[in-house]
Amino acid sequence: MIDDLSTATFGITANDTLFELPENYSRLPEWSDERIEIEDRYYDHEDQYETAEATDDEAVAILLLRGFDFRDERGQPLRCTLHFSRQAEAAAKGIKGRMPDRAAAGLESWTKKLEREARLHLQRMRTG
């Protein structure tokens, strides 16, 4: 179910964002130049993902900078954040996948939510 939604939204699953080790990797001597080079590529690949080891709160902050709002109406991280953060980040950075169609994802509801939050903020400022 998560993979289906991920594919429909981003065109990829979390597994699609993982580094793919060559088949011969496990047979290479631990200190061989080839194995070290593969490991360097692995770390370079993983370093692209700021959300890889992030908590929900950290992932939300990172993704907000990339144009994704994974918060609920109270400002708390959505429970699905860690299931979709790599895919969202990969799409936003152009690494892999695609950005979701904002119209299909409910851009109007996001706009209304932002307008409502702005009104509430202005009311709070006026009242105290």
Mean pLDDT value across the chain: 88
What is the total count of domains within the chain? 2
Long-range contacts of 34-43 (CB under 8 A, 24+ apart): none
Long-range contacts of 4-8 (CB under 8 A, 24+ apart): 5/84, 6/83, 6/84, 6/87
Q: Which pLDDT band, with edges at 50, 70 and 90, does 109 fall under?
A: low
Q: Are residues 31 and 13 in the same domain?
A: yes
- pTM for the model: 0.76
pLDDT in tens, 113-124: 656 666 676 777
Q: Rounded to whole angstroms, what are the CA distances from 23 to 28, 36, 117?
A: 10, 15, 52
Q: Are residues 127 and 90 in the same domain?
A: no
For residue 85, pLDDT over 90 is answered with: yes
pLDDT in tens, 13-22: 999 999 999 9
pLDDT in tens, 22-48: 999 999 999 999 999 999 999 999 999
Q: Are residues 108 and 59 in the same domain?
A: no
Q: Are residues 86 and 128 in the same domain?
A: no
